[in-house]
């Protein structure tokens, strides 16, 4: 099923690393790969996909993909009501796949970093608040990625605690007023489909 972008609301202060400081590009989908997203290659093209737990994420991701010139489709993924969002195969994502795939496995490239747009994608796909802070989920089979992703979070002032599966993870939990304010600054305004309670503030 095809999707179209929706409006957003609110405004935030301009940040050097925030969404307002960068033009959106397909490389921003690295934020999905830092979390639970996957990338696959086919010839000279690639596709990014992610399974999400709420319909609002589908609409936000569709809008984010559209402004990057990427078409999105979605379908039911599990009996638990999860939904799969996928881009089309496109050469625009081939560099991302080349950077992230090592012998068929997902790995952050050397020098991997996070920016506002990349964090915005991660929040839209796999972020949620909890009683202690804000949680960014990680891929269950991506343990080899976790250290590099954690270092990239720290690199933008978001040092976070790694939660293992027994603690409700795998995920990184960001805590503390300053770091949570930093996260909200970086990811920018809340998209209209996102519930106020689920977006960083």
For 40, 164, 173, 182, the CA distances from 137, given in Å and listed in that order, are: 20, 11, 9, 18
Tokens of 137: 């989920």
Tokens of 172: 């990184």
Q: How far is CA 197 from the centre of its chain?
A: 18
Tokens of 81: 């009501």
Write down the pLDDT at residue 78: 73
Tokens of 3: 């999707």
Write the pLDDT tens digit of every residue in 66-120.
999 999 999 988 768 899 999 999 999 999 999 999 888 999 999 999 999 999 9
Rounded (5°) CA angle 119-67-80: 60
120, 184 Cβ separation under 8 angstroms = no
Write down the pLDDT at residue 18: 53
- Is the pLDDT assigned to residue 48 strictly greater than 70? yes
Average pLDDT over residues 122-149: 96
Average pLDDT over residues 171-196: 97
- Is the pLDDT assigned to residue 15 strictly greater than 80? no
- Is the pLDDT assigned to residue 156 strictly greater than 60? yes
Q: Round to whole Å and give the CA distance between 186 and 150.
A: 16
Tokens of 197: 């309670």
The dihedral through the CA atoms of 44, 23, 15, 199 has a sign that is negative
């Amino acid at each position: 099923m095809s999707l179209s972008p929706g409006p957003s609301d609110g405004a935030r202060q301009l940040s050097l690393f925030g969404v307002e400081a960068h033009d959106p590009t397909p490389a921003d989908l690295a934020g999905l790969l830092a979390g639970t997203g996957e990338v696959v290659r086919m010839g000279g093209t690639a596709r990014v996909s992610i399974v999400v737990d709420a319909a609002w994420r589908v609409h936000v991701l569709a809008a984010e993909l559209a402004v990057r010139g990427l078409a999105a489709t979605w379908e039911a993924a599990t009996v638990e009501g999860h939904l799969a969002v996928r881009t089309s195969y496109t050469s625009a994502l081939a560099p991302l796949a080349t950077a992230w795939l090592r012998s068929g496995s997902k790995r952050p490239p050397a020098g991997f970093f996070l920016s506002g747009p990349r964090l915005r994608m991660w929040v839209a796909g796999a972020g949620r608040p909890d009683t202690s802070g804000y949680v960014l989920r990680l891929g269950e089979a991506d343990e080899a990625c976790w250290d590099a992703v954690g270092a990239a979070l720290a690199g933008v002032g978001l040092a976070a605690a790694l939660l293992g599966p027994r603690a409700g993870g795998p995920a990184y939990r960001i805590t503390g007023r300053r770091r949570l304010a930093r996260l909200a600054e970086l990811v920018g305004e809340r998209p209209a489909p996102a519930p106020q309670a689920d977006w960083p503030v």
